[in-house]
Every structure is written in structure tokens, then in C-alpha cells.
Amino acid sequence: MSEAFSNRRVTFLFDVDNTLIDNDRAKKDLSARMAGLLGAKGERRFWELYEEVRHDLGLVNIPLILARFGDELDADPSLEDDERRRLRFALADIVMGFPYGEYLYPGAMDAVRKAHALGQVAVLSEGDATFQPHKIWRTGLDPEVDGNVLVFDRKLDHLDEMTAAFPADHYVLVEDKPEILTAVKRSLGERVTTVLVQQGKYGQAPLLEDAPPDLIFDSIGALADSDFSRLDRDLHVMPSQQPAAPSKT
């Protein structure tokens, strides 16, 4: 361990969806399983409710989506009670029992474990308070981060709570969304090193000139293969990884 790390507390914060988990692929496979149960029309209706709930609440709430879908099953006169029960139970089993651990990106666990060898590690995620912690648990991440899992409706609104729960001399935030990294950098300044992994549908978004990520990797596996111990208190860019030039937009 480097002297810089041993003499101060560093906390690594990992996002989950499309940072540690290939959420785009998981969502596609989840859709296929739901279509097998509900048919194309039922699967499409589930995702319509998904978008309605996200619009209504500003976040995805899976239990509420399941509840609304169940209400529509109850109101469907073409279904017998036994069929409504079967579909409701089977859909919940598909969604709540989905094997998210199979969708961890290559190198995801290695990155978490490597960070853990240098400091405290926590998961910082967004979603509803029931499903998202359950999803993270199903990946097997909980024991790897000593149960340090924070799930907020909108993480940018809760940075004070995050820093209070996990006080540190320095933070390293690993994310796939450039706009979140930019906002956290503006808030915490030199107290945080921002790391972008360019995965998923958000990872290639344009970068802002005033606060680009400190480090950019094309995958979480590439981050895992890098030399974490060379991250120094006053050197927020590892020598082997220079930030990409921001897009001119």
C-alpha cells in the first residue's frame, strides 16, 4: 500500500448499473423472460408502467410497477382467478429472482476487491428502497463492500449524507454517467477523484469542459487492471491514464 493511502482514509464509491453490472444486457434478458410468461403485449405493458412510474416519481420503483401490473390483472375480465394468481406470482418471481450476479462486468469484482485493499469501499446507487438493495444483494456485492450499500432516490441530493456516513480524507467515485461525475466534482472539489467507465448507454455522453472526469477507462475491467496504489493525494491522474479531451458541443 502506498504511503499516501496508508496515512489517510480513502473511500471508494462504486455505482452499480452499467458500472459494475451490465444493466442493458440484464434488462434485455429480463424482457425476454417476461415475454415468455406474459406474451409480447404483457411484456410491453410492463415497460409502459415502468416508464409511467419513473415519470410520476422521478425514479424507478419496481415493487410499485408490480403492484400496478397486478391491479391490471385483477381488472382483466378475460382471466380466471387462478390465472391471475399464477401470473402475478410468476412475474414477481422472475423480477425479484433475476440472477444479476451473472451480469457483472468482467473485472467488476476485481476492481472492488482491489479498492478494498486500499481503503473503505461502498456502493452508491439510485433506485427504490426495496428493489435496488435486493438487486445489489443478488449480485454478491454486499459482502465484498462489508454491507456498505447506500441507495438514494437521487444520489446528488444526498452527498452530505454520504460523506457523513463514510467520512474520508479523499473519495474516489466510479461511475458510468459523466453528468453525475461532473456534479460531484463541482460539489466536493479536490476531495474527490472522479472515474468514468465508458460502458452502457450513458458512458459515451459528451464531457463538459469545466469539470471532465479525472480518469477515464473504457471498461471496469480496464480500471481493475490499473495501478490503484499510484493514486496520490495531490496527483488526481494516474500517469498511465490521461483524461480524454472534452467534446465540443
> In terms of domains, do 218 and 115 share one?
yes
Q: Determine the distance from the C-alpha atom of residue 24 to the mean position of all C-alpha atoms in its chain, rounded to a whole number.
A: 11
Residue 14 has pLDDT above 60, yes or no: yes
- Read off the pLDDT of each residue in 53-74 and give the average, rounded to a whole number: 94
Instruction: Report the pLDDT averaged over residues 170-194.
Output: 93
Judge if 56 and 14 occupy the same domain: no
On whether both 53 and 13 belong to a single domain, the answer is: no
Query: Using one digit for the tens of pLDDT, what is the confidence trace for 33-44?
Result: 999 999 999 999
Same domain? For 93 and 116 the reply is: no
Indicate the average pLDDT of the chain.
Answer: 88
Residue 66, domain member (yes or no): yes
> Which H or E run includes 11?
strand 10-14
Residues 58 and 125 in one domain: no
Convert the pLDDT of each residue in 99-144 to its tens digit: 999 999 999 999 999 999 999 999 999 988 889 999 999 999 999 9
Q: What is the pLDDT of residue 230?
A: 58
Residue with cell 460502458: 199
Containing structural domain, residue 180? 3-22+104-230
List the one residue out of 15, 40, 52, 36 whose CA is nearest residue 93: 36
**Does the pLDDT of residue 155 top 50, yes or no?**
yes
- 15 lies in the same domain as 138: yes
Q: Tell whether 93 and 135 lie within a shared domain.
A: no
Query: Has residue 14 been placed in a domain?
Result: yes
pTM for the model stands at 0.86
More confident residue, 50 or 230: 50
Say whether pLDDT at 7 is over 80: no
- Measured between alpha carbons, how far is 126 from 180 in angstroms, rounded to an integer? 12
Residue 207 has pLDDT above 90, yes or no: no
Q: Is 91 domain-assigned?
A: yes
> What's the confidence (pLDDT) of residue 236?
41
Q: Which residue among 53, 74, 100 closes a domain? A: 100
Q: Say if residue 209's pLDDT is above 90.
A: no
Chain center to CA of 238 = 24
pLDDT of residue 192: 93
